[in-house]
Amino acid sequence: MKAFTDLNLKTPLLNGLVDLGFETMTPIQEEAFPVILSGRDTIGIAQTGTGKTLGYMLPLLHELQYSESLDPRVLILVPTRELVVQVVEQVESYAKYINTRVLGVYGGTNINTQKKALAEGCDILIATPGRLYDLTVAQSVKLKYCKKVVIDEVDVMLDLGFRFQLTNIFDHLPTRRQNIMFSATMTDQIEEFIKSYFYNPEKISIAVSGTPLENIDQYCYPVPNYYTKANLLMHLLSNAQEYSKVLVFVETKKSADRLQEILSPHYGSELAVIHSNKTQNYRLRSIELFDGGDARILIATDVMARGLDLDKITHVINMDTPKFPENYMHRIGRTGRADEKGTSLLFYTEQEEEYKRQIESLMSQEIPVISLPEEVEISKQKTPEEQPRVVERYNPHTVIEDEKGASFHEKKDKNKKTNQGGSYRREIAKKYKKPKTRGDKNYNRRNKK
Band of residue 392 on the pLDDT scale cut at 50, 70, 90: low
Does residue 10 or residue 409 have the better pLDDT? 10
- Looking at residue 27, its pLDDT comes to 86
Q: What is the pLDDT of residues 109-154, one digit of tens each?
A: 899 999 999 999 999 999 999 999 999 999 999 999 999 999 988 8
pTM (2 decimals)?
0.69
CATH of domain 216-363: 3.40.50.300
Q: What is the pLDDT of residues 204-246, one digit of tens each?
A: 887 544 445 678 899 999 999 999 999 999 999 999 999 999 9
- Looking at residue 317, its pLDDT comes to 95
- Looking at residue 338, its pLDDT comes to 63
**Average pLDDT, integer, range 71-76:** 95
DSSP 74-135: EEEE-SSHHHHHHHHHHHHHHTTTS---EEEE-SSS-HHHHHHHHHT--SEEEE-HHHHHHH
**Mean pLDDT rounded to a whole number for the chain:** 84
How far is it, in rounded angstroms, from Cα 132 to Cα 84?
12
- Looking at residue 41, its pLDDT comes to 93
CB 373 within 8 A of CB 237: no
**Nearest Cα residue to 147 out of 39, 301, 31:** 39
Question: Does residue 274 come out as left (phi exceeding 0), alpha (psi in the -120 to 50 range) or beta?
Answer: beta
- Looking at residue 143, its pLDDT comes to 93
CB 147 within 8 A of CB 179: no
CA distances, 160 to each of 189, 324, 355, 425 (Å): 12, 15, 22, 45
- Looking at residue 92, its pLDDT comes to 95
CB 375 within 8 A of CB 248: no
Q: Could you please state the CATH topology (level 3) that the domain comprising 4-205 is classified under.
A: Rossmann fold (3.40.50)
According to DSSP, the β-strands at 315-318 and 342-348 are parallel
Q: What is the pLDDT of residues 357-369, one digit of tens each?
A: 999 998 888 999 9
Span(s) in the chain for CATH 3.40.50.300: 4-205, 216-363
CB 169 within 8 A of CB 132: yes
- Looking at residue 391, its pLDDT comes to 60
- Looking at residue 423, its pLDDT comes to 60
CA distances, 366 to each of 219, 232, 323, 326, 401 (Å): 9, 22, 17, 15, 38
How far is it, in rounded angstroms, from Cα 36 to Cα 38?
5
